[in-house]
Amino acid sequence: MIRFEEVHKSYGGVHALRGVDIEVREGEFTVLIGPSGCGKTTALKMVNRLITPTKGRVLVGGKDVAQLDAVQLRRDIGYVIQETGLFPHMTIAENIALVPRLKKWPKSRRDQRVDELLHLVGLDPDEYRHRYPRHLSGGQRQRVGVARALAADPPIILMDEPFGATDPITRKQLQRELVRIKQQVKKTILFVTHDISEAFVLADSICLLRSGRVVQHDTPEGLIRRPAEPFVTEFIGDEALLHELEYLRAGEVGESRIVTLPDTSSVQQALQAFSNSGIKAVCLVDENGRLTGVITRRDLAVAGLDHAGGTGPSSGKAARALNNGALERPARELATLDPPHIRHDELVRESFPRLIHPGRDNADAGDYLVVVDGNRRPRGLIGYEDLVRLIARLSKGAPEGGFSPSSADGQAHPARRTAGPGDGASFEVTAGGSQRDARSALKEERSA
Domains identified in the chain, total number: 2
Q: How many helices (H) and strands (E) does the chain have?
A: 18, 19
Distance between CA 249 and CA 114 in Å, rounded? 42
Instruction: List, for residues 23-79, the tens digit of each pLDDT value.
Output: 999 999 999 999 999 999 999 999 999 999 999 999 999 999 999 999 999 999 999
Other Cβ atoms less than 10 A from the Cβ of 239: the count is 18
The pLDDT of residue 401: 34
Expressed as residue numbers, the domain containing 87 is 2-247
Average pLDDT over residues 254-272: 83
Residue 310's domain is classified under what CATH number? 3.10.580.10
**Is-contact 36 66, C-beta < 8 A?**
no
8 shares its domain with 55: yes
- Banded model confidence at residue 438, pLDDT cuts 50, 70, 90: very low
Residues 119 and 76 reside in one and the same domain: yes
Residues 326 and 243 in one domain: no
Q: What is the pLDDT of residue 408?
A: 28
Cα–Cα distance between 358 and 81 in angstroms, integer?
Answer: 38
Domain endpoint, select from 247, 274, 293: 247
pLDDT of 21 above 90: yes
User: Strands 63-64 and 55-60, how do they pair?
Assistant: antiparallel
The pLDDT of residue 425 is 34
Are residues 164 and 72 part of one domain? yes
Q: For residue 238, count other CB atoms closer than 10 A to its CB.
A: 11
Crossing angle between the packed helical segments 138-150 and 107-120, to the nearest 10 degrees: 130
Percent of the chain with pLDDT over 70: 74
- Distances from the Cα of 313 to the Cα of 72, 299, 319, angstroms: 85, 16, 6
| Position 308 pLDDT exceeds 70 | no
Return d(Cα 335, Cα 421) in angstroms, integer. Answer: 17
Three-class DSSP category at 421: coil
Least confident of 87-91, 147-151, 364-368, 442-446: 442-446
pLDDT at 255: 54
- Residues 297 and 166 occupy one common structural domain: no
Whole-angstrom Cα distance, residue 85 to residue 340?
A: 50
CA distance linking residue 308 with residue 425, whole number of Å: 22
CB atoms within 10 A of CB 85: 14
Q: Residue ranges of the alpha helices (H) in 85-216?
A: 92-96, 98-102, 107-120, 125-128, 138-150, 168-185, 196-202
- The more confident residue out of 369 and 109 is 109
pLDDT at site 16:
95
3-state secondary structure of 232: helix
Identify the DSSP state of 411: S
Residues 267 and 183 grouped into a single domain = no
Q: What is the rounded CA–CA span in Å between residue 409 and residue 423? A: 33
Q: Compute the average pLDDT of residues 281-289.
A: 92
- Of 139-153, 284-298, 354-368, minimum mean pLDDT range: 354-368
Is there a single domain that holds both residue 208 and residue 274? Answer: no
CATH code of the domain in which 81 resides: 3.40.50.300
Same domain, 194 and 74: yes
Give the angle 39-95-67 at the CA atoms, nearest 5°. 45
Residue 151 in this model has a pLDDT that exceeds 80: yes
Which sign, positive or negative, has the C-alpha torsion 339, 345, 346, 351?
Answer: positive
Same domain, 190 and 313: no
* Residue 89 sits in the same domain as residue 103: yes
> Residue 263 above 80 pLDDT?
yes
| 218 shares its domain with 272 | no
The tens digit of pLDDT for each residue in 80-95 reads: 887 768 999 999 999 9
Rounded CA gap, 348 and 380, in Å? 13
pLDDT at 116: 92
What are the Cα distances from residue 139, in Å, to 169, 344, 415? 10, 40, 51
Are the CB atoms for 346 and 354 separated by under 8 Å? no
CA of residue 21 relative to chain centroid, distance: 28
Check whether 394 has a pLDDT greater than 50.
yes
Among candidate residues 231, 247, 263, the one where a domain is terminated: 247
392 near 442, Cβ under 8 Å?
yes
In this predicted structure, the answer to whether residue 141 has a pLDDT above a threshold of 50 is yes
Q: Which of 428, 244, 257, 445 has the alpha carbon at shortest distance from 348?
A: 244
Same domain, 291 and 207: no
- pLDDT at position 32: 97
The confidence score (pLDDT) of residue 287 equals: 94
Instruction: Render pLDDT for 335-389 as a digit per residue (tens, 0 to 9).
Output: 989 888 888 888 777 776 666 654 444 444 457 788 898 899 998 888 777 776 6
For residue range 218-257, list pLDDT tens digits in order: 998 788 878 899 999 889 876 555 666 666 777 777 655 6
- Boundary of a domain, candidates 218, 247, 276: 247
Strands, sheet with 188-192, edge to edge from the N-terminal-most edge strand: 77-81, 156-160, 188-192, 29-33, 205-210, 213-218
For residue 169, pLDDT beyond 90: no
CB atoms within 10 A of CB 136: 18
pLDDT grade, residue 163 (50/70/90)?
confident
